[in-house]
Amino acid sequence: MKNQGKVALITGAGQGIGLEIARVLAEKGHHVILNDIEKSLTEEAVAEILKDAKGKILGISGDSGDPAFIQEMVDLAETEFGKLDIAIANAGITLYGNFLEYSPTDFLEVMRVNAGGTFFLAQAAANLMKKQKSGGSLLFTSSVTAHQAHKNLAAYGMSKAAIEMLAKNLVIELSEYHINVNTIAPGATLTSRTASDPEYEKTWSKITPMGRPAYVNDIAKAAAFLVSEEARHITGQNLVVDGGWTSISPSPYN
């Protein structure tokens, strides 16, 4: 990749997809600041990625839905590296619940972390990129639930659809500063969390046209492309990585 040595900030990178994105970028020579709300996960992720990293790796623990903490992360990039080239809003929470009984507390928390965390990371990162006058890349982690209805995920799907619209709107706001912004929408993905369900891989292998759910590396490689120099003229777009599931959308509950 041509963008070796750039500085990337990734939220929700203590495990799963975010951790794998951090690993892929670090192996390509990027300097990576990774965030997770849990300090232990942050520290473990940094130690793991350092084994094969070609750039510097920093960890910062805290709430990626808090605008003050978001600014702290962006300030860390400027202080430690003098710049920020890539910001990936990957952190998110899933609070399942029947729509008719869904609580205001759960709804507002999903929106705060998923939509608000993405919005304010994009804002803080874009302001630094504007000041740098060298452009940059923003990437938001969406979901196939932004495109297809999924049982007990009305609020979550709503939050993910919102960030896809945010990416489109930011084309108007940020293109003049040479900042491109895209979203990536993973489908069913094998992570440490989903692997705890003994039926997960079997169910999704059966209903996914490509014959299996995604691995975290499938998502990470796509993400790495979208923040690379090769994708600099791609903006306001969403890339679905789901093995074809949204094309036919069979229910996992049947």
Asked if 224 and 26 count as a contact pair (C-beta separation under 8 A), the reply is no
In terms of Cα–Cα distance, which of 62, 90, 73 is closest to 33?
73
Place of tokens 């670090």: 26
Instruction: Give the C-alpha separation, 161 to 224, whole Å.
Output: 22
- Of 156, 177, 200, 253, the active-site residue reads 156
Asked if 149 and 99 count as a contact pair (C-beta separation under 8 A), the reply is no
CB atoms within 10 A of CB 254: 6
Instruction: Give the C-alpha separation, 82 to 32, whole Å.
Output: 13
The residues, ordered by sequence, that sit 6+ positions from 8 with a Cβ below 8 Å of its Cβ are 22, 25, 30, 31, 32, 33, 85, 86, 87, 88, 227
Q: Is 156 tagged catalytic?
A: yes
Residue 196 CB-density burial (10 A; 0-12 exposed, 13-18 middle, 19+ buried): exposed
- Token readout for 19 is 């951790």
Report, as residue numbers or ranges, the catalytic residues.
156
